[in-house]
Amino acid sequence: MIDLSHPISQQDIYTTDNTQLLVTYDVAQVKRDYVFDNIIFAYVEKGQKNINIPGLKHFTLMPEMVIMGASPIEAEVDILMDSKNNPAHCFCLEVSKEKVFGILDKIYESEDFEHISEPSEGLNPFNVYVGAGANMVMDNLLSMQKLIESDVRFKDRWVDLKIEELMLCCLQTNMYETLIHSYGNHKMLDNPLSEVIRYIKANYHTKIDVNKLAEKACMSQATFYRHFKRSLGTTPIDYIHGERIAKAKTLLKNRHTSIGNISFQLGYNSPSYFALQFEKHLGCSPREYQKKAY
């Protein structure tokens, strides 16, 4: 256990069935490398640490900030403080992704999570949070930290309950998107629709036969439709239109490209039908959207 009465650099690790809590107390400059493959939360009680994740820009973690990572991460951490009077007291809680995804499975079965199985694009593997949402999660983390560090009966069961509370807390904050993104990636690995989604994304510009999609998923047409709607919150046809409209938004940024040409590039036989679907999804015509882009 970390002894705060001794001004020396220390490190301790606490584990339960589904968590690992790394506690560091540094009074001198130090550099460490970490690899995480679960859901992580990092925060500091005192001092600060500089964090570098390859491919992303550096940032400094300070008190009242919380890092949440929900994808495999390699991190380089620098503790720059070199003062026994101002130590860096840091915590990193790693929670089993199997445990987290099991909790989200239960929520998914009972709640309406739109597009839960389709991971969003362009999200970082981690995010830094501040403000009211971070404070709410921080209170939960501090409570769990004390429990993990303690020696109480039925600690593993108690910690499991706290993990569920922590996940529900994250879903109330802006940590929601990072958590659901990771869960979506997890769901798609074994989802019979994964091959269908890949096919649609690669062939959105062609005529796609929904019956052939059902065959790719090895389902009857009725079962395929129900499973698709349940998993992605939309019908196969609307999903295909959504992929096309997403691509149209990029193409419309070129003011010299005609609406008709774009519609044919996206697989529509009629510019008017393309315009109808565009307005249905975005609430404005392609022409209006193109004008707003400038």
Q: Are 44 and 74 in a shared domain?
A: yes
Q: Does residue 281 sit in the same domain as residue 137? A: no
Number of structural domains the chain divides into: 2
For the purposes of burial, counting CB atoms within 10 Å of the CB of 157, is it exposed (0-12), middle (13-18) or buried (19 or more)? exposed
d(CA 119, CA 183): 8
Distances (CA, A) of 81 to 25, 35, 88, 89, 136: 11, 23, 7, 11, 28
Q: Is 216:256 a contact under the CB 8 Å cutoff?
A: no
8's enclosing H/E stretch is none
| pLDDT tens column, 110-145 | 765 544 444 444 456 578 888 888 899 999 999 999
What residues does 88 pair with on adjacent strands?
26
Same domain, 224 and 145: no
Token pair in block for residue 55: 């491919």
Instruction: State how far the Cα of 264 lies from the Cα of 43, in Å rounded to an integer.
Output: 51
pLDDT of residue 253: 85
Same domain, 99 and 180: yes
pLDDT at 124: 60
Q: Are residues 198 and 55 in the same domain?
A: no
Which CATH number does the domain housing residue 135 bear?
2.60.120.10
209 with 137, same domain: the answer is no
Domain end call among 187, 221, 250: 187
CATH of the domain at 219: 1.10.10.60
Domain boundary among 187, 213, 235: 187
Rounded Cα–Cα distance for residues 250 and 266 (Å): 12
- Output b/e per residue, 58-69; b: 16+ Cβ within 10 A: eeebeeebbbbb
Judge contact between 23 and 90, C-beta under 8 A: yes
154 and 277 share a domain?
A: no
- Domain coverage including residue 179: 1-187
Each residue of 40-90: pLDDT tens digit? 999 999 888 888 887 777 888 888 899 898 877 788 888 876 556 678 899
Tokens of 202: 């690669």
**Average pLDDT, rounded, for the chain:** 85
